[in-house]
Amino acid sequence: MKLVVAKEPLGRILKWAQRALWVCAVVLLGYSGFVLVDAWAFQRREGMDLDRLLSDRRAASEGTPVSATNGLIGRMVIPRLGLSAVVVEGIGRTTLRRGVGHIPGTALPGEPGNVGLSGHRDTFFRPLKDLRIKDEIQFSTLKGDFKYEVESLRVVEPRSVGVLASSKENVLTLVTCYPFFYIGAAPRRFVVRARQVSPQALARASVK
């Protein structure tokens, strides 16, 4: 027994399916454009605020609390990769869409312990795939400018929260999803550990 579908109804179904696909494509492109523009605008706005605060020597010398900047922590730069991103407090969806987030409960730059940062593998932390041991990471904050040197690159399971454990040394831990080009929710985590090698001020031109 053959199932026969009239050409006219089939044509209408295909036409509506085509229109639906076009609508989906437009919506997805629109959302992608919004995400990119929103992230760019946020980085520009927060970056200008950070530069203004960093240029205020009086505020820096008095050790202005990080909380006084509405969640703005500083700017992280990896010179060799050309990565520069504003870091803000928290790891919520909107925060990570717009920048790099400081993981609550971990140390802040200038404090002893483990400074934890999180970022998306398909945006700000995508360049980490090309990171190398001994690469330099610069972190400019209101409490000072800090330099770190990468000492390990690891791939771990999501439940391996020990990478964020407190440390007696001043270290920096970067966390993002892995694999970098995985489609969908990536199953593992890429972890960068760097140790602080210098607390002295860096050249301002190198962190803009």
Q: What is the CATH number of the domain that holds 118?
A: 2.40.260.10
Q: Is residue 3, in this structure, part of any structural domain at all?
A: no
Q: How confident is the model at residue 38 (pLDDT cuts 50, 70, 90)?
A: confident
Q: Which of 61-70, 88-97, 158-167, 181-190 has the lowest mean pLDDT?
A: 61-70
Q: Report the run of H or E that residue 145 belongs to, with start and end.
A: strand 144-156
Mean pLDDT of the chain: 82
Pairing of strands 83-89, 72-78: antiparallel
pLDDT greater than 70 at residue 5: no
pLDDT score for 202: 45
Task: Give Cα separations from 53 to 8, 35, 41, 50, 154 (angstroms).
Answer: 68, 27, 18, 5, 35
Highest mean pLDDT among 61-65, 147-151, 160-164: 147-151
pLDDT score for 103: 96
Give the model confidence (pLDDT) of 71-105 as tens digits: 899 999 999 999 999 999 999 999 999 999 999 99
Q: What CA–CA distance (Å, rounded) separates 53 from 57?
A: 8
Q: Report the run of H or E that residue 206 belongs to, with start and end.
A: none
| Number of compact structural domains in the chain | 1
Q: Is residue 137, in this structure, part of any structural domain at all?
A: yes
Q: What burial class does residue 51 get, using C-beta atoms within 10 Å of its C-beta: 0-12 exposed, 13-18 middle, 19+ buried?
A: middle
Q: What CA–CA distance (Å, rounded) separates 162 from 189?
A: 12
Question: What residues form DSSP beta bridges with 36?
Answer: none
Domain that holds residue 129: 36-207
Residue 34 CB neighbours (<10 A): 10
pLDDT score for 203: 42
Q: Is residue 26, in this structure, part of any structural domain at all?
A: no
Contact 126, 183 (CB under 8 A): no
Q: What burial class does residue 105 get, using C-beta atoms within 10 Å of its C-beta: 0-12 exposed, 13-18 middle, 19+ buried?
A: exposed
Q: Is residue 6, in this structure, part of any structural domain at all?
A: no
Could you tell me which of 176, 78, 192 has the C-alpha nearest to residue 136? 78
Share of the chain above pLDDT 90, in %: 53
pLDDT score for 107: 95
Q: Is residue 12, in this structure, part of any structural domain at all?
A: no
Could you tell me which of 198, 179, 196 has the C-alpha nearest to residue 188? 179
Share of the chain above pLDDT 70, in %: 75
Amino acid at 149: E
Q: Is residue 8, in this structure, part of any structural domain at all?
A: no
